[in-house]
Amino acid sequence: MNKVDEFRNYRTKMNQVILEEDNLFFKRFFNLDTKAYEEGALDAKTKEMLGLVSSLVLRCDDCVKYHIEKCHELGVTRTQFFEILSIGNLVGGSIVIPHTRRAIEYWDLL
């Protein structure tokens, strides 16, 4: 579970640095980020899947990891996870493949 902990610890540590800064933008932006994924007309699970595929096509490994954790928690199955990856690879092309490899590795660590 080392890679998972490493990711989580760095994320937590640096988010704290950001939120301790006297900068109103980041406080509000982080708040908006949390709220956008809350249950609404779409359920939280669907929203996390939307966050995952968006992060994948934009090729942000850390964002992908974060949404993988959330999807995993909210009951997305491995087969469903692969279908999300399929859409991401189709839309974003073969440059998404290396991120897909790392995404699957991370999923399998959870």
Q: Which of 3, 58, 73, 110 binds its own copies (CB under 8 A)?
A: 58
Rounded Cα distance between 10 and 6, Å, is 6
Q: Which of 18, 19, 73, 110 binds its own copies (CB under 8 A)?
A: 18
Which is nearer to its own copies, 39 or 73 (by Cβ)? 39
CB 37 within 8 A of CB 73: no
- Per-residue tokens: 14: 């640096």
Which is nearer to its own copies, 18 or 110 (by Cβ)? 18
Short-list 38, 7, 27, CA closest to 107: 7
What character string, x for contact with its own copies (CB under 8 A) and - otherwise, covers 75-104? --x-xx-xxxxxxxxxxxxxxxxx-xxx-x
